[in-house]
Structure 1
Amino acid sequence: MKKFDLHVHSTCSWHKIWGIDGINSPKELVEMALQVGLDGIAITDHNTIKGSQKAFQYVKEKNLPITIIIGAEVRSKSGDILALGINKDIRKGLPILETINAIKEQGGIAVAAHPYKYNTKIAPHLKDPSVCSRFDAIEVFNADVDRAHNLRASRLAQKTKMPGIAGSDAHYKMNLGHGVTCLDIENTVIDDVLSAIQKNKIELECNYPPLRNMLHLYTRKAANLLKRLIGKGKKTCQP
């Protein structure tokens, strides 16, 4: 089994309040992923593939033994969708089916991210067979979502007979690997990874990060917010 964290954020993620949403660079995330024994990660920054592209280039230059899935967490009109295996940005705010179609046109797969999280409206759409059938998987464990909402997502995947994946939704490198999707594959080439998800050749490793990690994350976010307020905040991806 090959281990992947399929939902990770870097300094290329932007939040309307906090500013830079992920506190570690793509390079730092790659190094941490190697330390915790992952075979691959998908850096899924908000509405941009810049972070995953930077990670991919770093891995290529250093010839590191890890697979980087180019992706993004795309905000559709109805909530967040993980776009895995894409090669260019997808415009945010599109209707849900248009977003999914844009992902598939690039050869990627569409995953309904944390369907019951407070800030998304995607779960009701998954009860519509014409919409649900267009998704490739549902994120049934997100390490940034409470147990009750993750359980609801898991039950939804079972009811709809959809593959279920796990992701850390890490915005801080120490949270990497707290939601792991284990894939029954020999090689970690992108096509094999995406195919294994679609075929539900999956086992999950689900663990919540310790409270100290979350305290560190939001202390850093608060510092970023303060820098923004005094005009010293950064607005670009870090390498």
Structure 2
Amino acid sequence: MLIDLHTHGKLSKQSDFSLDYFHEMMQEAKLNGLDAVALTEHFNTKNYEAIYEGLDSAFPYNGHYYEAHGVRVFPGIEVDIRETGHILLIGKKEKILAIRTELEPYTSKENFIPFAQLLKLADTYHLLKIGGHPFRDSTPLHQLNRELLIQLDALDLNAKDLYKQGVEVNRQKLEPFAEELGLPIVAGSDTHQCLQYGSVVNRFNEPIHTVEDLKQAIKNRRYEIEISAALDIKVKASVMLKKVLKQLKGEPPSREELEEVYTS
């Protein structure tokens, strides 16, 4: 099974959730060979709960994932922490929505949840915990307390960082760091729109039906990471299209977009 463990279902945090847009996203994910994605939308995106209201109205959910155009969609969330950094959490829909409710007091930058507190909360709900893009300049994780980092289940090999920093440069940072912590590395496209699907994927050697299946396969490293030969063009095209679409919607660029580099 080919699975992307870091994806978004909206163009941006400011955008409304659109079922038409999501249908297109899932159709493109399938065309790129994906069997499943983790929908790790930002926890402080506009109207987070509306995403699941929309998904419930359009796709069957079997208690573990949605079935959307032949793609399994595992619920998830991407959470900012106070110390700086993003943590991806993946689990059953009701648990993701419950943790989102508990995170409501922490949605503004001045009130982001401390890392240790988030880890405890995630464990309460038995969620898969992935450290997002540990060496991204704007939101690094590598500087955090090692005793907290080792409580994660994996670290994110992120397509945007592979593009911006270069594949070898990013992996030379991430791989020794993961080895030091004793954590596996998993791949995520970090896409907000369809062109970036397939830039990086995890090829699991067994069927994945539940988040527990996913967690065990990652823990036992029963998968391989595949990086597309077209990664640079996929990410560059995606970044450029996202900026154009946001401009058409009248949305301001994010800090990350203002800093974006157009050559890898």
TM-score, normalised with respect to structure 2: 0.73
Matched-pair contact (CA < 8 Å) for 1:26–1:54 = no
Overall identity of the aligned pairs, in %: 20
Cα deviation digits, residues 95-143 of structure 1 (max 9, x gap): 11111221221121111000110111421115x2x2122100011x211
Deviation at 1:22, TM superposition (A): 9.0
Q: How does 1:53-132 map to 2 (within 5 A)?
A: 54-55=54-55, 58-60=58-60, 64-78=69-83, 79-85=85-91, 86-88=95-97, 89=100, 91=103, 92=106, 93-125=112-144, 128=146, 130-132=147-149
Deviation of residue 209 (structure 1)? 4.2
Residues 97 and 131, structure 1, Cα contact 8 Å, conserved in 2? yes
| Count, aligned residues | 220
The corresponding residue for 1:34 is 30
CA distance 1:142–1:194, change in 2 (3 Å): same
Matched residues in 1 for 2:27 and 2:133: separation? Answer: 26
Structure having the larger proportion of residues in helix: 2
**For residue 58 of structure 1, what is the amino acid of its counterpart?**
A
Which piece of structure 1 moves more, 23-32 or 107-116?
23-32
Answer yes or no: is the 8 Å Cα contact 1:185–1:192 preserved in 2: no
State the shift of 1:159 in Å. 2.4
Shift of 1:68: 1.2
Q: Write out aligned runs for 1:1-239 (5 A).
A: 2-11=1-10, 13-14=12-13, 19-20=14-15, 25-47=21-43, 50=49, 51=51, 54-55=54-55, 58-60=58-60, 64-78=69-83, 79-85=85-91, 86-88=95-97, 89=100, 91=103, 92=106, 93-125=112-144, 128=146, 130-139=147-156, 141-145=157-161, 146-147=165-166, 148-207=169-228, 208-210=231-233, 211-224=236-249, 226=250
Deviation digits for residues 193-237 of structure 1 (CA, Å, limit 9, x no counterpart): 22212322221012324133322121112223x2579xxxxxxxx
Structure 2 CA distance for partners of 1:216 and 1:204, relative to 1, 3 Å:
same
CA contact (8 A) 1:56 1:68 kept: no
The answer to whether the Cα contact below 8 Å between 1:115 and 1:122 also exists between their aligned partners in 2 is yes
CA-CA distance at 1:150 after TM superposition: 4.3
Residues 66 and 28 from structure 1, CA distance in 2 versus in 1: closer, same or farther, beyond 3 angstroms?
Answer: same
Relative to 1, partners in 2 of residues 1:131 and 1:39: Cα closer, same or farther, differing over 3 Å? same
TM-score (norm. length: structure 1): 0.80
TM-superposed CA distance for 1:20, in Å, is 2.7
Secondary structure at the aligned position of 2:70 is classed as coil
Letter of the 2:159 counterpart? A
* Secondary structure at the counterpart of residue 4 of structure 1: strand
Q: Which runs of 5+ in 2 are unaligned?
A: 62-66, 107-111, 254-264
Residue pair 2:186, 2:202 contacting (<8 A) in 1 also: yes
- Please tell me the residue identity of whatever aligns with 1:212: A
Q: Distance in 2 between matches of 1:228 and 1:142?
A: 24
5+ unaligned residues in a row in structure 1: which ranges?
A: 230-239
Over aligned residue pairs, what C-alpha RMSD do you find? 2.8
Deviations, residues 162-211 of structure 1 (Å, cap 9, x unaligned): 11000000011111121211222234333212221232222101232413
Determine if contact 2:90/2:96 at 8 Å carries over to the other structure.
Answer: no
Structure 1 distance, partners of 2:227, 2:17, is 21
Cα distance in 2 between the residues matched to 1:184 and 1:152: 27
- Which stretch of structure 1 is more off in the superposition, 53-62 or 214-223? 53-62
Structure-2 separation of matches of 1:7 and 1:56 = 21
Per chain length, whose mean CA-contact separation is higher, i.e. which structure has more relative contact order (CA < 8 Å, sep 6+)? 1
